Amino acid sequence: MASWGGLSSEARAQRAARADRPTDFLDPAFHRQRRELLRQALPARSVAVLFAAPVRNRANDVDFLYHQNPDFYYLTGYTEPHAVVVLFKEPQTIGGQAGITEALFTQPRDPQRESWTGRRLGSEGAKQQLKLQFSADNKAFATAGIKWADFGQILFLDLPTDVRDDSRDPADLANLVADFRRQAGVPVDYSPELVGLHKLIQRYGATNAATLLPRLEAQSKAVPAVAADAYVQAYRQAATDADRQKAAANRPLNRYDASTLSEVLDVLREVKTPEEIVLLRRAIRISTIGQQEVMKALRPDMSENEVQGLHEFVYRRYGAEFEGYPSIVGAGANGCILHYETNDKPRLGNDLILMDCGAEYHGYSADVTRTAPPSGKFSPAQRQIYELVLAAQEAAFKECKPGSEFQAPHKAAQQVIAAGLLKLGIITDAADVRNYFPHGTSHYLGLDVHDRGTYKPLPPGAVITVEPGIYIPENSPCDKKWWNIGVRIEDDILITATGHENLSAGAPRTVAEIEALMAKPSVLDSFKWPVLK
């Protein structure tokens, strides 16, 4: 790596502003439609403010490769740091221009810095390529003339607080957030947790006190602003349902709202558009090819890190820019750690290897898990646990249809696993299933690997994972033959109008399919690595 020549370390944009790039990114019309749908959902006399993601430092003067806030990307297509987008319910006059409903403030062009850290769009590039109605350099945000005092509600997501302030940049993210807080008058002691609790009390206080009160008690102990809040404490002190209903109805008005915008984005991002599904299909297909090729190459003398590298090489080979999350490649005992990311076991041996890996293609993440025996053959004990997890997944698939409760796949999978573990003698009480299947079966999938959604009945267009698992760590209270067996099978499921489609079906799932694939030659079989001396 070249020295920095006196320039500070800066994030590299995910994609550069040039013609010789892939042509299948989302069209600006997609982002424009998303902005308009969000704007339509805003309350009257309101404004919505979203900030780009912070730059993250890796070490000294080296930053992590920049990754945009998915909400910001969803609404703008902009992939650079130090930016803010503002959406107005009613047209405003901004920067001397009338009739403005959307304004993007971006980092400016800077030829010297761009020669070190990559091309920037700048405000003109953003206007031309991203097609926003109004764009300007981020330095103009403080003087754009936004009349914050005129808005009845100011909506935003949680404001970034762990942001470095570059003293040489008067409009970096730290300054943009500070300018917003100052101009909009956000109180220094503003508590998004408190505003969220106000909403919960108003929404559920009259009907679900048994669940709500313990949460309010815990938050009162942990957050001073909650303990001092009259509305929360009046509700907590109400003695009867009638008193609680009366207390809940007296919610104070607050211009500053860090939860409504998130709720609107949950609804929008839950249902994928056809353009999004195209990108998800590609990310998932790339990931299933990775599972296939790795299974053919697996050997007991390989390391976890080597297996991780093979998956990620396939991703790059087929055009995926990133992994959607840190690859989880755990053999034996490591496969029993749900989010194991160290991946440093030097030899797999004959233990099962759990490979939870997903490519990210143009921002959209796959999430595919397969478990395989490096020897090419499952042992009898491994096979029994594997086929129990597979049966649970099949039961969960049956619940993947429009109108099903979000938790329906999990309940179906959990029931099968509990019955199976009882039959195998691994547990003696069905309630103990949580000891060996401690996680949920599904989450939404999209721009985030754990994507936004409402957790209401499944609608057509939602994409969820179905990932039951069994994990039996050493010293578990069962026969030792089960110890250190960890199995998870995860597929990416599109809810359709009539049922579902398994988008990751290309990766083998059954014992017979896996063993047959592992018996096939790998493209790496004839590759001879030089000896490292």
Nearest in space to 69 (alpha carbons), one of 195, 176, 134, 158: 158
Q: Are 220 and 227 in contact (CB under 8 A)?
A: yes
Per the residue annotation, which of 120, 285, 410, 488 is the catalytic one?
Answer: 488
Query: Looking up tokens 């984005």, which residue turns up?
Result: 265
**pLDDT at position 13 over 50:** no
Per the residue annotation, which of 124, 432, 439, 501 is the catalytic one?
Answer: 439
pLDDT at residue number 250:
86
pLDDT at residue number 282:
98
Say which residues have a Cβ less than 8 Å from residue 139's Cβ, sequence separation at least 6: 108, 170, 171
Asked whether the CA dihedral 442, 285, 354, 429 is positive or negative, the reply is positive
Phi then psi for residue 355, to 5 deg, are: -125, 100
CA distances from residue 334 to 44, 367, 377, 432, 456 in whole angstroms, order as listed? 53, 19, 19, 22, 34
- Mean pLDDT along residues 60-76: 95
**pLDDT at position 398 over 70:** yes
Per the residue annotation, which of 367, 491, 492, 515 is the catalytic one?
Answer: 367
- Mean pLDDT along residues 324-337: 98
Residue of higher predicted confidence among 189 and 294: 294
Q: 196-200, 453-457, 505-509: which range is least confident on average?
A: 196-200
Phi then psi for residue 278, to 5 deg, are: -60, -45
Measured CA to CA, the distance from residue 228 to residue 457 in angstroms comes to: 37
Per the residue annotation, which of 80, 229, 351, 356 is the catalytic one?
Answer: 356
Which residue(s) pair with 502 in the sheet?
493
The vertex-504 CA angle with 500 and 509, nearest 5°, equals: 105
Q: Are 39 and 45 in contact (CB under 8 A)?
A: no
Nearest in space to 310 (alpha carbons), one of 357, 369, 364, 354: 357
* pLDDT band with cut points at 50, 70 and 90 for residue 517: very high
**pLDDT at position 149 over 80:** yes
pLDDT in tens, 345-357: 999 999 999 999 9
pLDDT at residue number 19:
67
pLDDT in tens, 407-454: 999 999 999 999 999 999 999 999 999 999 999 999 999 999 999 999
Measured CA to CA, the distance from residue 378 to residue 512 in angstroms comes to: 10
Query: Looking up tokens 């930053």, which residue turns up?
Result: 63
61 catalytic per annotation: yes
Per the residue annotation, which of 61, 110, 474, 479 is the catalytic one?
Answer: 61
Which residue(s) pair with 462 in the sheet?
271
**pLDDT at position 196 over 90:** no
* pLDDT band with cut points at 50, 70 and 90 for residue 204: confident
443 catalytic per annotation: yes
Per the residue annotation, which of 471, 491, 492, 509 is the catalytic one?
Answer: 471
164 catalytic per annotation: no
**pLDDT at position 5 over 70:** no
Measured CA to CA, the distance from residue 313 to residue 286 in angstroms comes to: 11
Nearest in space to 74 (alpha carbons), one of 141, 157, 180, 12: 157
- Mean pLDDT along residues 285-295: 98
Asked whether the CA dihedral 86, 91, 92, 96 is positive or negative, the reply is positive
Domains detected in the chain:
18-184 (3.40.350.10), 192-254 (no CATH), 271-526 (3.90.230.10)
450 catalytic per annotation: yes
- Mean pLDDT along residues 94-111: 95
Phi then psi for residue 354, to 5 deg, are: -95, 125
Measured CA to CA, the distance from residue 249 to residue 271 in angstroms comes to: 32
* Average pLDDT of the chain, as a whole number: 93
311 catalytic per annotation: no
Per the residue annotation, which of 58, 339, 347, 434 is the catalytic one?
Answer: 339
Q: Max CA-CA distance within the chain?
A: 79
pLDDT at residue number 3:
38
- Mean pLDDT along residues 101-127: 94
Per the residue annotation, which of 172, 270, 304, 490 is the catalytic one?
Answer: 490
Which residue(s) pair with 308 in the sheet?
none
Q: Are 424 and 399 in contact (CB under 8 A)?
A: no
341 catalytic per annotation: no
Per the residue annotation, which of 451, 467, 491, 515 is the catalytic one?
Answer: 467
The vertex-126 CA angle with 125 and 132, nearest 5°, equals: 135
**pLDDT at position 10 over 60:** no
- Mean pLDDT along residues 39-56: 96
pLDDT at residue number 14:
46
Measured CA to CA, the distance from residue 243 to residue 234 in angstroms comes to: 9
**pLDDT at position 465 over 80:** yes
| Residue 526: DSSP 8-state | T
Q: Are 100 and 94 in contact (CB under 8 A)?
A: yes
- Mean pLDDT along residues 75-94: 97
229 catalytic per annotation: no
Tokens representing residue 172 in the block: 């970096």
Query: Looking up tokens 């297909």, which residue turns up?
Result: 285
Strands 153-156 and 256-257: parallel
pLDDT at residue number 1:
54
Measured CA to CA, the distance from residue 129 to residue 460 in angstroms comes to: 31
Q: Are 360 and 324 in contact (CB under 8 A)?
A: yes
Tokens representing residue 156 in the block: 């935003």
**pLDDT at position 340 over 50:** yes
| Residue 57: DSSP 8-state | E
471 catalytic per annotation: yes
Per-range mean pLDDT, top range of 220-224, 250-254, 384-388: 384-388
Q: What is the pTM of this model?
A: 0.92
pLDDT in tens, 129-146: 999 999 999 999 999 999
339 catalytic per annotation: yes
Phi then psi for residue 530, to 5 deg, are: -65, 150
pLDDT at residue number 7:
35
**Size of the chain in residues:** 533
